[in-house]
């Protein structure tokens, strides 16, 4: 089979860009433009944005769109480990470009909002607008608490991804259902635990825009309290993804009827 690495990486760039462009645009409309939307509205926009991205690039790259998913698939599903780093770089690029374009379109509105609130961008107060693009912990939440939130919600997300994309799992329809289920899962996680950490679950989704913010005037303050941005959104989702994938592969998949019957038939034939 002809190597399609460039196409796959391009698919990851485009797919990540799509959901980040819609997601950050939605947050910008809420924070800077003062649109009257609820947290559920915000969460469902993020979730359906991911569904759209999966529909568009799913057959090109698999639509990982998230280093946590890529690493979990490499660890548990035999995804080519040589593709892990190129996929992650592509995801970061897509997220960075989405943040840049959202800022290009909303920049004047964001600046006006900052001026009206006397927000100094390159300070802790700047998190109010930097949060349009990246994530920060809720005030009072410890680093450990935030870390565990991201581990748990990412584990749940990857568990769902593994379940709905497993051809052996006959309870899941395959025609468009995985993309919708994944998007709704993100929305449910967002409305239930999003207020705590911004439901990052995705190092690329977090780091690409954070890097953009550092270049766009927020400076190193955008790294968050105690270097939060280089710790929690990076390591917690990776650990959570590995746990979620492991739960499915070790505690669920072996007991699917098709898998059990195959083992029985194999043992009887011996």
Ranges of each domain in the chain: 5-265
What pLDDT does residue 263 have? 66
268: CB partners within 8 A, 6+ apart: none
In 3-state terms, the chain is what percent helix, strand and coil (to 5)? 80, 0, 20
- Under CATH, which number does the domain 5-265 receive? 1.20.1080.10
Give me the percent of the chain exceeding a pLDDT of 70: 95
What pLDDT does residue 175 have? 77
Categorize the per-residue pLDDT at 262 as very low, low, confident or very high, splitting at 50, 70 and 90.
Answer: low
pLDDT tens string 37-50 = 999 999 999 999 99
Cα–Cα dist 109/103, whole Å: 9
Which residue matches tokens 């001026």?
115
Q: Phi first, then psi: what are they for 101, rounded to 5°?
A: -70, -40
| Residue 73 near residue 79, CB atoms below 8 Å | yes
Q: Is the pLDDT of residue 1 over 50?
A: no
Q: Is the pLDDT of residue 107 over 80?
A: yes
Categorize the per-residue pLDDT at 130 as very low, low, confident or very high, splitting at 50, 70 and 90.
Answer: very high
Cα–Cα dist 179/181, whole Å: 6
For the record, the structure tokens of 64 come out as 């990982």
Measuring CA to CA, how many Å separate 41 from each of 64, 180, 261?
Answer: 24, 16, 43
For the record, the structure tokens of 248 come out as 């499915």
Measuring CA to CA, how many Å separate 242 from each of 149, 151, 245, 255?
Answer: 15, 9, 5, 20
Count of Cβ atoms closer than 10 Å to residue 226 Cβ: 11
Closest C-alpha among 258, 263, 108, 248 to residue 169 = 258
Q: Output the CA torsion sign for 131, 137, 143, 147.
A: negative
* CB-side neighbour CA atoms (13 Å) of 5: 11
Q: Is the pLDDT of residue 10 over 50?
A: yes
pLDDT tens string 151-199 = 999 999 999 999 999 989 988 887 789 999 999 999 999 999 999 999 9
175: CB partners within 8 A, 6+ apart: none
| Residue 90 near residue 10, CB atoms below 8 Å | yes
| Residue 45 near residue 23, CB atoms below 8 Å | yes
Which residue matches tokens 């953009």?
212
pLDDT tens string 52-62 = 999 999 999 99
Per-residue DSSP letter, 118:
T
Section 8-13 average pLDDT? 98
Measuring CA to CA, how many Å separate 129 from each of 31, 57, 229?
Answer: 7, 30, 15
């Amino acid at each position: 089979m002809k190597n399609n690495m460039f196409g796959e990486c391009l698919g990851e760039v485009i797919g990540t860009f799509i959901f980040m462009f819609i997601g950050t645009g939605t947050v910008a409309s809420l924070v800077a433009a003062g649109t009257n939307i609820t947290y559920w509205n915000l969460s469902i926009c993020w979730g359906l944005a991911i569904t759209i991205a999966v529909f568009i690039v799913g057959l090109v790259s698999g639509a990982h769109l998230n280093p946590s998913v890529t690493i979990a698939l490499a660890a548990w599903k035999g995804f080519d480990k040589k593709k892990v780093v190129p996929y992650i770089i592509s995801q970061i690029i897509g997220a960075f470009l989405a943040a840049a374009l959202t800022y290009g379109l909303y920049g004047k509105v964001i600046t006006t909002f900052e001026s009206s609130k006397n927000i100094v961008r390159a300070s802790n107060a700047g998190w109010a607008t930097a949060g349009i693009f990246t994530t920060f912990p809720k005030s009072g939440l410890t680093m450990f608490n935030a870390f565990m939130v991201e581990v748990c919600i990412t584990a749940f997300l990857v568990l769902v991804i593994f379940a709905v994309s497993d051809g052996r799992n006959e309870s899941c329809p395959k025609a468009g259902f995985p993309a919708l289920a994944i998007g709704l899962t993100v929305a449910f996680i967002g409305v239930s635990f999003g207020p705590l950490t911004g439901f990052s679950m995705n190092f690329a989704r977090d780091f690409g825009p954070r890097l953009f913010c550092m270049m766009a005037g927020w400076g190193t303050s955008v790294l968050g309290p105690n270097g939060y941005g280089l710790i929690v959104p990076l390591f917690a989702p990776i650990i959570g993804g590995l746990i979620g994938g492991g739960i499915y592969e070790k505690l669920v998949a072996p007991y699917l009827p098709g898998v059990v019957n195959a083992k029985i038939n194999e043992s009887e034939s011996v």
